[in-house]
Amino acid sequence: MKKIEDLKVLIDNKTLIKRIKELAKEINNSYDIKKPLTLICVLKGAAMFYCELAKYLKMPLKMEFVRLSSYGNSTKSKGEVKSLNLSLPNFENENVLVVEDIIDTGLTLDFLVKFIEHNCCAGDVKLAVLFDKKCARKYDIKPDYSAFQVDDKFIVGFGLDYQGFYRNLDYIGYFE
Ligand code: IMP
Ligand code: MG
């Protein structure tokens, strides 16, 4: 079991919030802000990033939540996506932005984007992630917006967990 005493700070809260505000600006600038946008939160990990990002978006916003899991209690992807709640409305050609904590192998987001494209009549589907762990990518999928790049470490905090814990930290930490 990893212990909080062994946790090192990777990104402090001030840096996280500043970068999320910048990302929101980038998103506002690349959409027509008069058009509605549905923001989809991938629970549980994206919860904090999602709420923070939503505060600064200027378009008429709808908020949806799905719950997916691919890690279980491990620190490596198990290679299959468990969909715990995937009820989404018909988007009637409106724009959709999927918000996720971290893209690792790409399995989760590849699965979700394909699901939305096949089942929800969305217009444009884009992806925003707090972290892009590019070195671990196995699926051909690229986020449209990403706040930070991270190398091959297991990180926790600001929504990200290890065995269900540490999601409430207001910073990003890693275990040495
Ligand atoms: P993927 O499907 O392999 O891209 O994995 C994405 C999911 O794995 C994310 O939504 C996270 O829940 C989890 N994940 C990947 N890397 C980390 C990490 O470093 N810390 C915590 N969770 C992670
Ligand atoms: Mg996740």
**Ligand 1: centre distance to CA 77 (Å):** 7
pLDDT value at residue 176: 79
Q: Identify which of 43, 81, 160 to mutate to test ligand 1's pocket (most ligand atoms within 8 A of the CB).
A: 160
pLDDT value at residue 6: 86
Query: Which sequence positions are flagged as catalytic?
Result: 104
pLDDT value at residue 98: 98
Write the residue with the smallest CA distance to atom 20 of ligand 1.
Answer: 155
Domains of the chain: residue spans and CATH: 4-68+80-175 (3.40.50.2020)
**pLDDT of the chain along its 176 residues, tens only?**
778 888 999 999 999 999 999 999 999 999 999 999 999 999 999 999 999 999 999 999 999 999 998 866 666 666 789 888 999 999 999 999 999 999 999 999 999 999 999 999 999 999 999 999 999 999 999 999 999 999 989 999 999 999 999 999 999 999 87
Q: Which of 65, 69, 77 is nearest to 139 (CA)?
A: 77
Write the residue with the smallest CA distance to atom 17 of ligand 1.
Answer: 154
Element (H, E) at 34: none
70 CB within 6 A, ligand 1: yes
Give the burial class of 176: count Cβ atoms within 10 A of its Cβ; 0-12 exposed, 13-18 middle, 19 or more buried: exposed
pLDDT value at residue 5: 81
Question: Where would I find the beta strands (DSSP E) of the chain?
Answer: 7-11, 37-43, 61-69, 82-85, 95-103, 125-132, 145-149, 155-156, 172-175
**Ligand 2: centre distance to CA 31 (Å):** 25
What is the value of pTM for the model shown?
0.94
Whether residue 94 contacts residue 76, with contact meaning beta carbons closer than 8 Å, is answered with no
